[in-house]
Structure 1
Amino acid sequence: MATMRILTASGLFLAFCALGLLAMAISTDYWYETDARRHRERCKKYASKRNDPGYIYISNQNLPLRMLPKIGGVDTVEPSGGTLLRAKREFLPPASAMESRCSRRYNSTVTGLWRKCHREGFDLETEDLIFKGLLQRCTPVKYYYSSANIPRNLPPNVTKTIRQDEWHALHLQRMTAGFIGMAVAIILFGWIVGVLGCWNHNELMQYVAGLLFLMGGTCCIISLCTCVAGINFELSRYPRYLYGLPEDISHGYGWSMFSAWGGLGLTLLAGFLCTLAPSLHTPHTTAAHKPRQENGIV
């Protein structure tokens, strides 16, 4: 009996902690973070290079490899005996590649379920615009379809692809917010049922609370997996120059995402403890003695 009470109380305490972690994750904006400081510095250095006549800018990081010419249609052989294999390579010159990357302004941002915000202290120009009131620190995440997100002056086939991707990304965002809201509601209801079961010493209510915790954990798993799939989908959308990130921009998941995963783990553990506790209780049965007349004694 004491073991059952300890397991049930531990499960309810873990479920309460899981609710706190999930509420913290939902109310904060650090699900996904980007850091564009290194990209900004590279673009500033490229923009400030010498452009006077007679000056030739050569990037040491993008120098092409030297290849020996063909003689009589046959590749020449190096003195060491190795044959150079010729491969057709298509790449932009270093200058035009840097111009295409720096033509779009990338900001250091944090993104949550409800807002997308500029990171404080990461860019002095952005901070100055925010201080002057010309730029908002945070913008709300839209959960409805808007054609204003689609760039103009694009070919019809590209516009159709972007419109379909917008609907798919919107569907993933809605699933993420909807399922994590369902998870919090189910866990809260299970916690109330578990507390009432402990108060009334009702084993069935405690078992139901454990099942509700496991159901809430399942909804939380769906929400977090959908969130990860949505972020990966956004980074791989077509065309890449509009939705992809350059290699020198670091990005990853923030502490809000890890808080949600921690709440998921505590929820599943609470469900396991609350469903295990009633099975450890052995009911005490008292033997009923028959009257003497029924035992054959007169």
Structure 2
Amino acid sequence: MRLLAGAGLCLALAALALLAVALSTDHWYETDARRHRDRCRKPGGKRNDPGYMYTPGQHLPLRGEPPSSRIRSPRGGEPGGVRMISRAEDLGVRGLRERPTGARDLPLSRPYLATDPHCSRRFNSTVSGLWRKCHRDGFDKDTEELILKGIVERCTSVRYYYTSSSLPPNLSVNVTKTIRQDEWHALHLRRMTAGFIGMAVSIILFGWMVGVLGCCKQHDLMQYVAGLLFLMGGTCCIISLCTCVAGINFELSRYPRSIYSLPEEISHGYGWSMFCAWGGLGLTLLSGFLCTLAPSLSASQSAVHKPRQENGAV
């Protein structure tokens, strides 16, 4: 069954090509922050997606007025004016107003807070692969201008060695320790992803060379070994892709969420490089099945076509 062995080798070569494309490109994971950036640039930064409800500041319960907030007049100790502090001012917003004595029945205006805490952070549209993380071309004009001026780099390399990232100084010791441990965990997942996919490509390439030699010399055992190598390479590829998916999900669920989580408006998902890797995995497993099936079929056919010996014939 040289036809099955040849088809298996062709599929293995196509799998190597897909894996090489996936390794050399940066579209494993993509983010698009344009909708989030446009919403944050609007006045107030309100979300208008269906199902989302705002709780305005004027509907929140008022806090009790502390005794120190009353200003007593020098005449007889009667209160000459009451200093009313809105909820927004209690949160540190400027605009402190003092209510006059004769205007106690007038409603006090409060500033409306519609600011999303995610708008204080800058999110960029990026693509990331095994080796680099890059800004997407044409998605953010401000970033493009900084890249043209040389202030911001288009791509940054993915580090496979530990480097402590800069953290806000107001974090507690337990939170800082958790972040450092999560950095080590994420680093191990990245190392496993790159290491196992490199092993997969090496094993598949070696199996393809063994299979070609087996087809040239018509050696069934070499073709069978080539099929086993393809299946082994597919196993390594499965481990690599699973750890890649686990690493991405781990990065999105790290603690604290206010630093590492993504807003709902940012669309993110896997790119075509990831699909090339999964396609290479499928072709590798199929080629391994064909290359291991071909020797068994040829052996069964040779046993069927073997002539029966006559009685007394040597």
TM normalised by structure 1 equals: 0.80
Query: Structure 2: any 5+ residue segments left out of the alignment?
Result: 60-90, 92-110
Q: How far apart, CA to CA, are the structure 2 residues paired with 1:172 and 1:40? A: 30
Deviation, structure 1 residue 130: 0.4
Q: Secondary structure at the match of 2:264?
A: coil
Cα 1:204–1:169 change in 2 (3 A) is: same
Q: How far apart, CA to CA, are the structure 2 residues paired with 1:248 and 1:291? A: 86
Q: How does 1:49-198 map to 2 (within 5 A)?
A: 62-64=53-55, 95=113, 97-98=115-116, 100-198=117-215
Task: Give the aligned residue type for 2:13.
Answer: F
Q: How far apart, CA to CA, are the structure 2 residues paired with 1:212 and 1:6? A: 19
Q: How far apart, CA to CA, are the structure 2 residues paired with 1:188 and 1:95? A: 60
Q: How does 1:170-249 map to 2 (within 5 A)?
A: 170-249=187-266
- Asked if the contact 2:227–2:289 (Cα under 8 Å) also holds between the matched residues in 1, the reply is yes
Task: Give the aligned residue type for 1:23.
Answer: A
Cα 1:94–1:21 change in 2 (3 A) is: farther
Deviation, structure 1 residue 147: 1.2
Q: How far apart, CA to CA, are the structure 2 residues paired with 1:97 and 1:248? A: 15
Task: Give the aligned residue type for 1:130.
Answer: I
Q: 1:267 aligned to 2:284?
A: yes
Deviation, structure 1 residue 151: 4.3
Q: How far apart, CA to CA, are the structure 2 residues paired with 1:46 and 1:270? A: 58
The residue number in structure 2 matching 1:24 is 21
Q: How far apart, CA to CA, are the structure 2 residues paired with 1:254 and 1:238? A: 25
Q: How far apart, CA to CA, are the structure 2 residues paired with 1:161 and 1:120? A: 35
Cα 1:266–1:59 change in 2 (3 A) is: closer
Query: Structure 1: any 5+ residue segments left out of the alignment?
Result: 50-56, 68-91
Deviation, structure 1 residue 58: 11
Task: Give the aligned residue type for 2:151.
Answer: L
Task: Give the aligned residue type for 1:225.
Answer: C
What's the CA shift string for 1:100-147, capped at 9, x where partnerless?
A: 211110000000000000000000000000011111000000111111
Deviation, structure 1 residue 154: 1.6
Q: How far apart, CA to CA, are the structure 2 residues paired with 1:201 and 1:43? A: 67
Task: Give the aligned residue type for 2:288.
Answer: G
Cα 1:15–1:176 change in 2 (3 A) is: same
Cα 1:235–1:94 change in 2 (3 A) is: farther
TM normalised by structure 2 equals: 0.76
- Asked if the contact 1:150–1:162 (Cα under 8 Å) also holds between the matched residues in 2, the reply is no
Q: Secondary structure at the match of 2:165?
A: helix
Cα 1:145–1:199 change in 2 (3 A) is: same
Task: Give the aligned residue type for 1:9.
Answer: G
Which of the pair has more CA radius of gyration?
2
Task: Give the aligned residue type for 2:216.
Answer: W
Q: How many residues are matched?
A: 257
